[in-house]
Chain A
């Protein structure tokens, strides 16, 4: 079966760095997405990785290792507005996105 695993909840301090991990087992691989979702709102796109390595975009970076079925989202200089759920999604061989359950990130002052 297809499976995406990510931690349910994480807590970090404002100004610090946090890494949210995602492991996956899917039928085929056509890229991995990270989305941010604030409570009561729709998800918004953060990053897309299809090749191994690190993609940096401002305070957010995303890493992918296809051989390990592993990705992480790195958030630097955390701000209170970063409190949200972070969804890991993998596009399978049929170009369908398979979603993890999301990681709720709580930022404390």
Chain B
């Protein structure tokens, strides 16, 4: 099956610093990638949708200047949390979908646990 990787799996950073999370589709071309945030015991919250080569579409309430998303190629998307604060500590999960609207399944990465101290 399709595999999506994320790096790093865990990261601890100091308040005010920036953190970059990579999401890669290993054996397929992901025309669309999704970034989710999940707080403990809560559901997945979609942050943004990115299509290769175009600007990401952010969900309401998500600061685009704080969460920078780049989908530079069909196999790589990055999420940069800028000027991180303790309230940004969360589990960040990416997922990828290949093809156009006819491809239904999203393949999830293993997630990145971010802790901001």
Residues of A within 8 A of B (CB): 30-31, 33, 35, 40-45, 48, 50, 87, 91, 95-97, 99-102, 104
Contacts and interface: CB of A to CB of B under 8 A. Distances in A.
A103 B109 CA distance: 21
A6 B104 CA distance: 22
B94 to A, nearest CB: 9
Contacts, number: 44
A42 B108 contact: yes
A87 B101 contact: no
Contacts of B41: 104
Given A31-B104, A96-B49, 15 more contacts: A30-B101, A33-B104, A35-B108, A41-B110, A42-B108, A43-B44, A43-B93, A43-B108, A87-B43, A91-B104, A95-B101, A97-B46, A101-B42, A101-B43, A102-B43
Majority secondary structure of chain B interface residues (helix, strand, loop or mixed): loop
A7 B84 CA distance: 34
Please classify how large the interface on chain B is, using the bins under 10, 10 to 19, 20 to 34, 35 or more: 20 to 34
B111 A41 contact: yes
